[in-house]
Amino acid sequence: MEVVLSGIRPTGNLHLGNYFGAVRNFIKMQEENSCYFFIADYHSLTTHPTPADLHGNIRNVLAEFLATGLDPEKATLYVQSDLPETAELYLLLNMNAYIGELERCTSFKEKIRKHPENVNAGLLTYPTLMAADILLHRAHKVPVGKDQEQHLEMTRTFARRFNRMYNIEFFPEPQAYNFGEELVKVPGLDGSGKMGKSESEGNAIFLVDSPEIIRKKVMRAVSDAGPTEEGQAKTEAVENLFSLLKIMSKPETLAFFEDEYLNCRIRYGDLKKQLAEDIILFTSPIRERILEIRDDNEYLRKVTKMGAEKARESASKTIKEIREIIGISSF
């Protein structure tokens, strides 16, 4: 049986990008694999959240995991910091992670460009922490969105380096994975780039958003003045709206608006109205479950306790073997 693993940072509520890039795959994969899905709270410390925000967001993401259909009886659902073994493997991997390769990482370069006031060591070694998560359970497949591809490439480098250094086939080389498709990038509503929680206000639609908020956000999405010639290429903003329609709506809805665009008859207001209703149809049942689960402390405690126990079994076994391989064994 293959080991599947993935994580999400608790930096806010889950949005459609998280869902279609990652969580949708978790739900499918939990049926037939040995799955580990976790909340990456150590990772989120690079941006210095307040303790109250961090704790609240761990609760939100956990409730959202459960509300989307992740089943704690099928998959191991846990909080990263409940596994101190993660920190040990992170330390060990850092000994063979080179500054040059870490500095070249696209997400690091992006972060220091956006936040020059907070270039911390955790940010630089973010890929080693992520590799520690993955290698701790010797995972084969890692369902993630397109933005995580390079981190997976680095994880494979660290795994190969360890295997070569100790002359042992210990770590498998994990692959970024999307169930039966290419890796996905869900666009946002602000006319450029991906949907993300740290992008501009209104760019992301969260699973927990109410129908009114969804309508408001979608109606305000960036578009353009409309095509004037038949077959005119789409601007990025309009391309993004069509990509969302492709993900959220029926094929015939997409075909209808494609045709309208082609013939220069398109009314973006109509497209947005339809898109908003299709999103609401999808998110409403999930939203209801989130609101039910979110305040059920006893259930959340039970799930995290069970997840931590199962995850630690696998993690402590790997760490014990690694310690022996590298020469930290007892007399």
List residues near ligand TYM by CB under 6 A. 5-9, 17-18, 21-22, 40, 43, 130, 133-134, 142, 144-145, 147-148, 184-186, 194-196
Q: How far is the CB of 265 from ligand TYM (least distance, A)?
A: 30
| CA end-to-end distance (rounded Å), the chain | 35
Q: How far is the CB of 144 from ligand TYM (least distance, A)?
A: 3
Pair of tokens at residue 116: 């020059």
Give whichever of 65 and 227 is closer to ligand TYM, judged by the CB atom: 65
Could you say which of 28, 74, 185, 197 is catalytic?
197
Q: Is 194 a catalytic residue?
A: yes
Give whichever of 72 and 174 is closer to ligand TYM, judged by the CB atom: 174
Q: Reduce the secondary structure of 8-77 to three states and give it as a string.
A: ECCCCCCEHHHHHHHHHHHHHHCCCCEEEEEECHHHHHHHCCCHHHHHHHHHHHHHHHHHHCCCCCCCEE
DSSP per position, 176-223 = EE-TTS-----B-SSSSSB--TTSSTTS--BTT--HHHHHHHHHTS--
Which residues lie across from 79 on neighbouring strands?
Answer: 39
Nearest Cα to Cα of residue 315 among 80, 11, 49:
80
Give whichever of 128 and 304 is closer to ligand TYM, judged by the CB atom: 128
Give whichever of 14 and 293 is closer to ligand TYM, judged by the CB atom: 14
Pair of tokens at residue 125: 């070694």
Pair of tokens at residue 121: 């060591």
Q: How far is the CB of 199 from ligand TYM (least distance, A)?
A: 9
Q: Is the distance from CB of 183 to CB of 234 less than 8 angstroms? A: no
Q: Give all strands (DSSP E) within the chain, no chain letters.
A: 3-8, 34-39, 76-79, 141-143, 175-177
Q: How far is Cα 190 from Cα 296, in angstroms, rounded to an integer? A: 35
Q: How far is the CB of 316 from ligand TYM (least distance, A)?
A: 19
Pair of tokens at residue 3: 């080991």
Q: How far is the CB of 253 from ligand TYM (least distance, A)?
A: 21
Q: Compute the radius of gyration of the chain from its Cα atoms.
A: 21
Give whichever of 128 and 249 is closer to ligand TYM, judged by the CB atom: 128
Could you say which of 141, 194, 217, 272 is catalytic?
194
Could you say which of 111, 141, 217, 272 is catalytic?
111
Q: Is 111 a catalytic residue?
A: yes
Q: What is the DSSP letter of 229?
A: S
Q: How far is the CB of 221 from ligand TYM (least distance, A)?
A: 14
Pair of tokens at residue 80: 């990263």
- Nearest residue to ligand TYM, by Cβ distance, number only: 21
Give whichever of 107 and 253 is closer to ligand TYM, judged by the CB atom: 107
Query: Which amino acids are annotated catalytic?
Result: 111, 194, 197
